Amino acid sequence: MRWELSFEQQEFHEAFTGWLDHVADSPSVREWATHGGAPFEARLAEDGWLAAGLAEAAGGAGGGLVELALASEAMGSHGAPSAAWLSTMAVLPAVAGRPEVIEGLVERGEFVVWVGASDRIPGGGRALPLVDGTVTGEVRLVLGGSRAARFVVPVATGGGVGLALVEAADVQRGERSLLDQTREACDVRFDGAPAQVLDVDAEAILTQVARRAAVLVSADSLGAAARMLDLAVEYSKQRQQFGVPIGSFQAVKHAAATILVGVEAARSIIYPAAAAVDEGHEMAEPWACAAKAQVTKSGVAAADSALTMHGAIGYTWEHDLHLYYKRAKLDARLFGAPSAWNERLASQLELTPQS
C-alpha cells in the first residue's frame, strides 16, 4: 500500500494550515477558550471545510482519512476548537451511504455527533434500549454534543447492537466543563426520543468508527506536541540561568530532542494508519491501535517535558503552553486511554506460547 502524502494532500495541508493561521491565531484561540468554540466551528462550516475528507458521492469535496488526519494535526497545532468536528468525522464517513445521515451537513454546516462516552473506545459502552422506535437513557460526556444537529446512537436490538439516528431537537443536553477549554462535551439524555434505525452493518461501523477516532485523536496529539516543542525551544533561547540561555544546557537539549523523536515517530505511524483504515488494509486495526496508544502517551510526555522547560510560567494563562498541555492530556483520554488501546492491540496479535 502507498501511504506517502500525494501532491494533492500536501496542497490541502498547506491550504488548511494557511486558513488556520488566519482565523485561529493566539488571541482568537484564547477568546474561544473563554467563551466556547462555537464561532470557530461555525466558521469551519461556513468556509466549506466540512466537505473535506468526504466522498463526492456523499456531498463532500473528496479525500479521505489521510486528509482529515492532516486537518486534525493542524487544528491540534493551532489549539483550534474541534470537538464537534472530530466526533462528526469519526462517524460520518462510516455511515455516509445513508442519505438521511448526511442530509444538509455541508449545505447547512451541521454536525452529526457520535453518542458514546468520550473516555471509552467507540463500541465499548452500553447500547441504549430501543422500544417502539424510541430511545431512552443517558450518555455522559459526549464529545461535541452541544453543537450536534443529530446523533448516531448505538441501540440494543433483538439481533444485538444496531445504530439509530436521533435529532438533537428530541434530546436534552447538559453542559460539562473540561480542563481543556478548547473542546467541549455534554451529557445527552434521551427520554422516549424518536429514533430512525439505520440499515447498516452496525458491528462493522463500530469497528470503523473506533479506528477513525483513534487516528484523528492521535493526529491532534501530534499537532499539539509539535507546537509545544516549538514553544519550548523558543523559550529556552530566552530564559537565562547563570547568565546563559537554558537552551545551552545539555539536559534541556536532551528534553527537546526527546520530544522531537516522539513527534517524528508519531508521523511515521499516524499517516500509514490513516491510509490503511481508508483502504481496508489487513493492518488497519493494529496500526490504528498503536497510533492511539503510543502517540497520545508520547504527547503527554511531551507536555510534561515542555512544562518543565518553561517552569511555572508555562501553566499560567498569560502563556500559550497551558492550552496545548491540557489538550495533550485530554487527547490521551479521549475515546479510551492508551492502556485500553494497548489491550485492544494485544488481542489482535498471535501470541507464541513459551516452550
Which pLDDT tens digit goes with each residue over 113-170?
Answer: 889 889 999 987 778 999 999 999 999 999 999 988 899 999 998 778 999 999 999 9
Residue 305 lies in a domain: yes
The pLDDT of residue 190 is 95
Query: What does pLDDT average to over the chain?
Result: 89
Which pLDDT tens digit goes with each residue over 215-225?
Answer: 999 999 999 99
Name the pLDDT band for 75 (thresholds 50, 70, 90): very high
Cα separation, 231 vs 53, whole angstroms: 30
Residue 222 lies in a domain: yes
The pLDDT of residue 267 is 93
Which pLDDT tens digit goes with each residue over 25-60?
Answer: 999 998 887 776 778 888 888 888 988 888 777 677
The residue range of the domain holding 287 is: 203-348
Higher pLDDT, 313 or 136: 136
Residue 333 lies in a domain: yes
Cα separation, 9 vs 26, whole angstroms: 26
Residue 38 lies in a domain: no
The pLDDT of residue 104 is 67
The model's pTM: 0.93
Is the pLDDT reported for residue 103 higher than 80?
no
Residue 76 lies in a domain: no
Cα separation, 155 vs 164, whole angstroms: 7
Average pLDDT, integer, range 320-344: 95
The pLDDT of residue 98 is 65
Residue 255 lies in a domain: yes
Residue 44 lies in a domain: no
Residue 264 lies in a domain: yes
The count of domains in the chain is 1
The pLDDT of residue 311 is 85
Among 55-59, 250-254, 255-259, where is mean pLDDT lowest?
55-59
Name the pLDDT band for 2 (thresholds 50, 70, 90): low
Higher pLDDT, 75 or 309: 75
- What CATH number should be reported for the domain holding residue 262? 1.20.140.10
The pLDDT of residue 106 is 67
